[in-house]
Amino acid sequence: MRIPDLSDKKLIDRHLDRLDTRGVSRRDFVQLVTAGVAVGAAARTLGLPTAAIAAPSGKIAYMYFSSRLQYCLTVKKSVEDTTAALKIGSTSADAELNSEHQLDQYEQLAAAGGLGGVILNAPDGSNIKRIAKLAGQNKTWVANVWATEPWFTPFDASEYYTYYADPDDYHAAFEVTTKLLTEIKKKTGKGGKIIGLTGIPGFITDLLRTRGRNDAFKAFPEFTLVDDLPGNFNMEDGNKAAQDLLTRHPDAVGIYAANDEEAAGAIAALKTAGLKAGDDVLIVSAGDGNPEAASAIKRGQLVATAANVPQFMGAMMTTRLYDVMNGWQPRAPERMMHWGSKMMTLDNVDTYLERYVNNGDVAPFDYRLMSKVLHPKDWDPQDLMTPLDMDVEWQGIKKPANWEYPKAYMDARQNGQSQAVADEYKAHYKIDMFGPSPMKKG
- Asked if residue 440 has pLDDT above 50, the reply is yes
- Asked if residue 170 has pLDDT above 60, the reply is yes
- Asked if residue 259 has pLDDT above 60, the reply is yes
Spatial neighbors of 58 by CB under 8 A, at least 6 apart, are 88, 89, 116, 117, 322, 325
pLDDT at 441: 85
pLDDT at 43: 37
Contact assessment for residue 169 and residue 212, using Cβ atoms and an 8 Å cutoff: yes
Q: How confident is the model at residue 21 (pLDDT cuts 50, 70, 90)?
A: very low
pLDDT at 188: 96
Q: How confident is the model at residue 27 (pLDDT cuts 50, 70, 90)?
A: low
Identify the residue with better confidence: 186 or 30. 186
Q: HEC string of the chain? A: CCCCCCCCHHHHHHHHHHHCCCCCCHHHHHHHHHHHHHHHHHHHHHCCCHHHCCCCCCEEEEEECCCCCHHHHHHHHHHHHHHHHHCCCEEEEECCCCHHHHHHHHHHHHHHCCEEEEEEECCCHHHHHHHHHHHHHHCCEEEEECCCCCCCCHHHCCCCEEEEEEECHHHHHHHHHHHHHHHHHHHHCCCEEEEEEECCCCCHHHHHHHHHHHHHHHHCCCEEEEEEEECCCCHHHHHHHHHHHHHHCCCCCEEEECCHHHHHHHHHHHHHCCCCECCCEEEEEEEECCHHHHHHHHHCCCCEEEECCHHHHHHHHHHHHHHHHCCCCCCHHHHEEEECCEEECCCCHHHHHHHHHCCCCCCCCCHHHHCCCCCCCCCCCCCCEEECCHHHHCCCCCCCCCCCCCHHHHHHHHCCHHHHHHHHHHHHCCCCCCCCCCCCCC
Nearest by Cα to 133 from 114, 150, 152, 113? 152
* Least trusted range by pLDDT, from 11-15, 336-340, 434-438: 11-15
Task: Round to whole Å and give the CA distance between 372 and 320.
Answer: 9
Distances (CA, A) of 296 to 196, 264, 278, 302: 19, 8, 10, 5
The span from the first CA to the last CA of the chain, in angstroms, equals: 57
pLDDT at 49: 36
Mean pLDDT score across all residues of the chain: 90
Contact assessment for residue 235 and residue 214, using Cβ atoms and an 8 Å cutoff: no
- Asked if residue 302 has pLDDT above 60, the reply is yes
Identify the residue with better confidence: 51 or 386. 386
Q: How confident is the model at residue 111 (pLDDT cuts 50, 70, 90)?
A: very high
pLDDT at 2: 42
pLDDT at 442: 64
* Domains by residue range for the chain, with CATH: 9-167+310-428 (3.40.50.2300), 170-307 (3.40.50.2300)
The share of the chain scoring above pLDDT 90, in percent, equals: 85
pLDDT at 58: 83
pLDDT at 42: 38
Instruction: Give residue-wise pLDDT tens across range 371-430.
Output: 999 999 999 999 999 999 999 999 989 999 999 999 999 999 999 999 999 999 999 999
* Least trusted range by pLDDT, from 2-11, 95-104, 239-248, 316-325: 2-11
pLDDT at 23: 46
Q: How confident is the model at residue 202 (pLDDT cuts 50, 70, 90)?
A: confident
